[in-house]
Amino acid sequence: MSRTIYFDNNATTQVAPEVTEAMLPFFTTYWGNPSSMHTFGGQVAKYVDKAREQVAALFNAKPSEIIFTSCGTESDNTAIWTALQTNPTKKHIVTTSVEHSAILQTAAFWERNGYRVTRLGVDEKGRLDMDEYAAALTPDTAIVSIMYANNEVGNIYPIPQMAEMAKERGILFHTDAVQAAGKVDIDLAKVPVDMLSISGHKLHAPKGVGMLFVRKGLIFRPFIRGGHQEAGRRAGTENVPYIVGLGTACDLARAHMEEENVRVAALRDRLEEGITANVPDCLVNGDREHRLPGTTNIAFRNIEGEAVLLMLDRLGICASSGSACTSGSLEPSHVLSAMKVPFKYAHSSTRFSLCRYNTQEEVDFAIENIPAVIKTLRELSPFKD
Amino acid sequence: MWNYSQKVQDFFLKPHNAGPLEDANAIGEVGSLACGDALKLYLKIDDKGVIQKASFETFGCASAIASSSILTDMVIGMHVDDALKITNADIANALDGLPREKMHCSVMGQEALEAAIRQWRGEPALPKTQEEGKLVCKCFNVTDLTIIKAIRENHLTTVDDITAFTKAGGACGSCRDEIAEILETELKRMNGELPDAAPAKSEARPEAAAKPQVTFGATPSMLTNLERMQKVMTAMQLIRPQLQADGGDVRLVDINGKTVTVELTGHCVGCPASKATLHQVIEQILRMQVEPDIVVKEAGD
């Protein structure tokens, strides 16, 4: 069993070969510090500038609006931090109950420090309610932070509309676009968000690099203090090789956006239909009308997720589960719990997330083998109804 | 993800005795779909009280399936009186250890076994701790007696330990203070600071304290300094009687990170075997009960 079928691209992605190649000279030859006065170091700065342009181009933003960070989580923390620091009289944060922990835990931290947090609920398909959202926006609201797309079920939220509603009320709007970047066409000249986070390793750049878009004119307070890098907005010597890698990855993402939305979406559909047609009593979690092209989240009645994942692992198939069967897990995952997925299904919800490197052959292998795995586990289960 | 022993993997992938047992005359059921794991244990017990057949159905993770399966292997051919002596630690040890956060799977196995045997005896088909105890964790339906039993049989010293072994306090967390109080009282009882109010009857195995501890599989330990100190102090209370039996004793001098400094007293002083005592007895017990990389030093070394 040497073959690996990687269907866990919402967790992390393979570094594109073009990205690795673009990065290598910055380990071996151009390893200087871009802030140095001498030519050897200083010459590196132009490659950071180029990467900034490449990243900006993916979102139709200005290069000066791009701040490189170490990861999506840092970008998220920074966005909330600067919003609260620059609006010291406002004590309210609006977010959702289905955010990534980078936002959920940050919001909970500020809540412990005197802020009020509204977490918008979702319906059974994981959709937000625009009336509930409108009602949550108050003159005391310092920032709204809502993910562009959900990591577990792949739902894409109506960020252009929600950002517009915040803007009308003079409230800052941040979106965690870690899952959406490179898959959803985001034109920041049109979508009125103030800040947007991405992470390199979700779009075929390496782990350890991220980006925060901060719209021109927005007052900003750095989260990480120190040197003058990133125009004084994010201290710390630039991670040049990874920044170059992120630039290349964004170029590739722009080139492959259509493929993601056509070929990868078709593979996802084939996998989803193949499994649901051959396995009785399963259901697809999430909003199938507005969903990332590569993501499907399938729940199998009466069995448990970790057992499913380990059986799939034996077949070389990498997937993931919202369920972590540990002692502290009455609730399968905060996302599925917020969606009120029935217990009989929630514990086995399995996420398959595809990317442009997946093939139809891999999908067909999965379709061929998964029904037997589910059948075996159901035979072991005491619950048969 | 495969942070399971080979035995857990084997029993998960090729479980023995899976499926219902047609002629079962004892069935024990614990857990529920809502709790994330559930086990139905089937036994066929003959007139002499010997378990002739056993099988299981489990909804749960790999370690839940493996714990159930190895338990059926263990009990076949056993008299029910002996089967009742099986502890969760025995199940975990038979699997060459379970990751800490999965220890509740072994507890679930023990409880299902007890429930089945009680049903066969015409008693309520519940583990005794659940029938007689007071409900503490409403999310996972765990009683104080279950918690006390887990503390005693597994030498638990923190609330997180108790959650790992019984799930109590793992969901809403509203009972964590109550669990902490139970723990404090039990630790005092075990240290002799409080009289021993007879706990759950089904435990009370005097040899339990001297028995080697459960191994926690490959899960790396993440103890805080405070937790480590508490665990060391609790473990020392178990070590002292062993030395005292030989006319010796040991005094805890200092705990600095993972280095524990002790002073051997009584007959241990100058005993040629004292170095061996230090390393083979004290260090080994601390490594099993606290952390695998504890180092024991003698004061003045």
Which chain B residues are Cβ-neighbours of A326 within 8 angstroms? Answer: 101-102, 170
What is the reported pLDDT for B301?
Answer: 63
Residue A296: enclosing H or E segment and its boundaries?
strand A295-300
The stretches of chain B forming alpha helices (DSSP H) are 6-13, 62-75, 80-83, 88-94, 103-120, 128-132, 144-154, 159-166, 176-190, 225-244, 274-276, 284-289
Tell me which chain A residues have a C-beta less than 8 angstroms from the C-beta of B2. Answer: 310, 313
Our CA-based measurement puts residue A385 at a distance from the nearest CA of chain B, in whole angstroms, of 12
Q: What's the distance, Cα to Cα, between the start and end of chain A in Å?
A: 34
Contact A379 B1 (CB under 8 A): no
Residues A6 and A318 sit within 8 Å (Cβ to Cβ): yes
Give the orientation angle of helix B159-166 with respect to helix B176-190, to 10 degrees: 100
For residues A357 and A335, give the distance between their C-alpha atoms in angstroms, rounded to a whole number. 27
Task: Choose the closest CB to B18 out of A305, A332, A379.
Answer: A379
The predicted pLDDT at position B100 comes to: 87
- Residue B300: which region, alpha, beta or left (left: phi > 0; alpha: psi -120 to 50)? left
Domain ranges of chain B: 1-123, 128-201, 225-298
State how far the Cα of B279 lies from the Cα of A266, in Å rounded to an integer: 63
* Contacting residues for A359 by C-beta, under 8 A, at least 6 apart: A267
Collapsing DSSP states into helix, strand and coil, what is residue A258? helix
- pLDDT value for A114: 96
In the β-sheet with B248-256, what is the strand arrangement from edge to edge?
A: B248-256, B259-266, B295-298
Q: How far is A16 from chain B (nearest CA, A)?
A: 25
Nearest to B106 by CA among B94, B118, B125, B89: B89
pLDDT in tens, B115-167: 999 999 999 888 888 888 999 998 888 999 999 999 999 999 999 999 989 98
Provide the sign of the torsion angle of the four alpha carbons A59, A61, A62, A63, taken in this order.
negative
Q: What is the pLDDT of residues A137-195, one digit of tens each?
A: 999 999 999 999 999 999 999 999 999 999 999 999 999 999 999 999 999 999 999 99
Specify the residue for token string 């898959």: A183
* Model pLDDT, residue B242: 74
The answer for residues whose C-beta is within 8 angstroms of residue A91's C-beta and 6 or more apart is A114, A115, A116, A140, A142
Domains of chain A from N-terminus onward: 5-11+257-380 (3.90.1150.10), 17-253 (3.40.640.10)
List, in order, residues 6 or more apart from B223 with CB less than 8 Å away: B231, B290, B291
Let me know if domain B1-123 sits in CATH 1.20.210.10. Answer: no
Return the pLDDT at B270. 63
Question: Is this prediction's pTM over 0.95?
Answer: no
Please name which of A359, A357, A319 lies closest in space to residue A10, comparing C-alpha atoms.
A319
Q: Would you call A250 a catalytic residue per the annotation? A: no
B225-298 CATH choice from 3.30.300.130, 3.40.50.800, 3.90.950.10, 3.60.40.10:
3.30.300.130
Contact A208, A71 (CB under 8 A): yes
Candidates A312, A327, A377, partner chain B, best to mutate (most B CBs within 10 A): A327
Point out the residues of chain A with pLDDT beneath 50. Answer: 327-328
The residues of chain B scoring below 50 in pLDDT are: 1, 199-220
How confident is the model at residue B218, as a pLDDT? 36
Among A311, A327, A382, select the one facing B58 at the smallest CB separation.
A382
Position A137: which residue type?
A: L
For B128-201, CATH number out of 1.10.533.10, 1.20.120.140, 3.40.630.10, 1.10.10.1100 equals 1.10.10.1100
